[in-house]
Chains A and B, each alone.
Chain A
Amino acid sequence: MSIQALDTTTAGSRKRLFGLAFRSSLLTVVTLGIYRFWMKTRLRRFYWSAIRPGGVPLEYTGTGVEKLMGFLVAVVVMAFYIGVFNLILMFVSFSLLNDNFAAYAMSFVGVIPIYFYARYRARRYILARTRWRGIRFGIEPAAWAYAWRAMLHWLATLATLGLLLPRQIFWLEKFRVDRTWFGTARFQQNGNWKMLLPIAWPYYLGILSSLILIGLGFANPLWLFGLVPSVAIAGFGLIHLSVQSFRVLGAAKRLDGNIAFRAAPSTWRVLRIYLFGNLFAGFILAIGAAITVFLFFVFAALLSPDLTGTGPVAQVAQSLTDFTQAGLIALGILGYFSFFIFWGVLGQIFVTLPLLHHYAETLMIENSHLLTRIQQRDRDAFSEAEGFAEALDIGAAI
């Protein structure tokens, strides 16, 4: 049926990303975190341009300034909400129940709708700042509608001990996709939630076997040891479901009626990237930390008057004591921050980039000749950017 299909190529080396991620992480620390808005912007530019459907890279047009502004606005709103809301909760909780547990619980519950709201707003901002072939993406504003739907779906999923998760995944994806546009063309999520069932069997196997084992555990606690493999299966099932739903849902998406998509990410490949990427990053970090600690002690020993005895060396060392103290403290702080910087940077180059490449390179666009009909859409000013997501510290990766 497909007349013309576009393959997706990928670009971007680890080395190039390392330079960018390392420099911007450093700037983030030096500016006490302010630069993180620009860091995010630059990393996104890189990641977006690494995905090239039909050889034309995606483009990210967001700016650091608008992210900072959005964050400021969100902080004011959240400061009001959290400050005043917490205060009233605390008062009510102590007045009526003589305890603050209810206040903490309510304060947590109160943030949940904002969490989903913020997620949708962040998506809106990101899509509005994404272009391909010079054409903007976009999503209709529907953050509160999304938030309450998401909460109801979560409730249903939790109430059924996770059995309705595929249904939740499908309907929330459909809600988002059906409101997403590429230029003048609309996306559409076809199909139904039951098409996720064939890829959900390891997940169901894990959940059902865990439930049975817990039931048997009431009779004989030894059965509970069986939870170790059954929970592992459920965990694998969850990853399998999330990776393969990208393929299944992708195949049922349409753009402008007839433009179709194909994706074929591999669960094992994703697992391998997560596992070995993190292991490798941890390994490099451990070696770096060992060398740093070694240098720290060499430095400390060389300048410590206790170890050098009497004589001119000791005198020099004595005069350096204050300097040494300050130096060691500075080195300690430096080490602490370096650890987090390097962990973040290594995570970008060994996990995020390979994952992105893997998902992207399996992506195909069918009937791509129909793309030429699509026209530009207006700019979504949306000055708040993803401030709420930033303020709540979600959507951390990129």
Chain B
Amino acid sequence: MTGLAFGDFMDGGSARVQRVALRLDPPEHPMDLELALPDGTATLRWPLSDIRHLVDQAEPGAVVLTRSQHPMQRLITDDAELIATLSDLAPDYSAPLPAPGMVKRLLGLGTAAVASVALIIFVLIPVMADQLAAMLPASGERALGDSTLEQIREALSDNDLFPIRTCQQPDGLAALAKMQARLEPATDFPYPIRLHVFDHEMVNAFALPGGHIILFRGLLEDAKSPEEIAGVLAHEMGHVEHRDPSRLALRSAGSIGVLGLLLGDFAGGTIVLFLAEQLISANHSRAAEAGADDYAHDVLSQSGLPTTPLADFFQRLYDEYGEETGLISHLASHPNLAGRADAARDADQTGGAYETVLSDAEWQAMRRMCR
């Protein structure tokens, strides 16, 4: 390049803009870009190896140049020939400006952030939820259960407009009430147990805060005897007694806000689904399940009912699904089904002689209550 080009120079120290004459390849310093300041007194040299240009600029006809050694300085030129030559000759013309240590810091910070969020979701919120659930008054538990029941009915439904149907056939309801009346004297709840049957094919049952217990049509159809249902019911009563559903609901309430934060606004629907999934699959701890089982064994024995049918039911689930399943069913999603079946079998105090919980006609009415 032979002729003179011009540019605007800013030294990064003051807001002054100086018009400079630019010369590439001056004879005595061949690898420099020479900037002659307007007063003619001083000349700056930018080594070509040092020159970078700013990217993503709106004006295609001009470039903003800077130096990696002096990153505050700016030189703006619109001389097409100079720009073309520089982009050819300056080796790091398009390299990003150096930002030392950023990647390492990012990795550290990223790991810390993920760990902290995990700690909040998996440790802090559960621990707090467990403490608070124990302190929640009975009326608060009931209100919590009422509001979640509706959300779950909506989430389980295929149709957005109508929540899932609860089965209301009167003979079936009467049979259900009879079963409840048989077990209830052995329990001591601050609120009445409220039973619901959902018209859904999943073999499942779960409890909500405040004494709601939900049985699924699939469970009624799968069971071989009313005593199996009584066993499942007693197990869910155990969860109610130990406030496991309240714990779970409070835990979800905490996690939901965090999830919403991470997933963003558009995932609002996903969050509600997540809540419902949590409560339906009722991933209680192993200890909570064992506690509910023990409670069930006591209630069944005090009501003069056998625990062997509950064992049979667990055994059947185990044969069907194995220990670990991906199925969203509270009853089947727990490990140690075989062990729990054994425990239930050992707990039986009736010796096979007992007054059946339902008559055959009542049992059939219960199984058909969703038709």
Contacts and interface: CB of A to CB of B under 8 A. Distances in A.
Interface residues of A, number: 63
A344 interface: no
A276 interface: no
A4 interface: no
A135 B74 CA distance: 10
B14 A375 contact: yes
Contacts of B358: none
Contacts of A54: 17
B132 A87 contact: yes
Nearest to A60: B56
Contacts, number: 183
A266 interface: no
B8 interface: yes
B11 A134 contact: yes
Interface in A125-144: 132-135
Given A79-B258, A83-B121, A134-B11, A45 B55 contact: yes
A374 B14 contact: yes
Max chain A Cβ within 10 angstroms of own Cβ: one of B8, B125, B135, B258: B258
Contacts of B120: 76, 79-80, 83-84
Interface string A46-82: 1101101011110100010110110011011011101
Given A73-B109, A134-B74, A374-B14, A94 B257 contact: no
Q: How large is the interface on B (under 10, 10 to 19, 20 to 34, 35 or more residues)?
A: 35 or more
A68 B76 CA distance: 30
B102 interface: yes
A192 to B, nearest CB: 30
A374 B15 contact: yes
Contacts of A156: none
B116 interface: yes
B144 interface: yes
A245 B72 CA distance: 34
A87 B57 contact: no
Contact of B16 (A72, A86, A95, A372): A372
B254 A65 contact: no
A52 B109 CA distance: 37
B258 A83 contact: yes
A46 B55 CA distance: 9
Nearest to B260: A82
Nearest to A375: B14
B142 interface: yes
Given A90-B250, A135-B15, A49 B128 contact: no
A14 B30 CA distance: 40
Interface in A87-114: 87-88, 90-91, 94-96, 98-100, 103, 107
B109 A69 contact: yes
A72 B109 contact: yes
Interface string B108-132: 0110110011001100110011001
Nearest to B60: A16
Contact of B14 (A56, A87, A135): A135
A83 B106 contact: no
A132 to B, nearest CB: 8
B204 interface: no
A79 B114 CA distance: 11
A134 B72 contact: yes
Contact of B58 (A16, A98, A132, A376): A16
A59 B54 contact: yes
Contacts of B142: 98
Contacts of B116: 76, 79-80
A23 to B, nearest CB: 11
Interface in B138-181: 139-144, 147
A42 interface: yes
Interface stretch (B85-93, B261-269, B336-344, B348-356): B261-269
A338 B125 CA distance: 38
A91 B74 CA distance: 58
Given A84-B128, A87-B253, A91-B136, A12 B58 contact: yes
| Top 4 A-B residue pairs of the complex, sorted by shortest distance between their CB atoms | A12-B58, A134-B10, A11-B59, A98-B143
Given A47-B58, A375-B13, 19 more contacts: A17-B58, A54-B17, A57-B64, A69-B105, A73-B113, A76-B112, A76-B113, A76-B117, A79-B117, A79-B121, A82-B257, A84-B254, A87-B132, A91-B136, A132-B15, A134-B11, A135-B14, A183-B15, A372-B16
Interface of B: 8, 10-17, 54-60, 64, 72-74, 76, 99, 102-103, 105-106, 109-110, 112-113, 116-117, 120-121, 124-125, 128-129, 132, 135-137, 139-144, 147, 250, 253-258, 260-262, 264-265
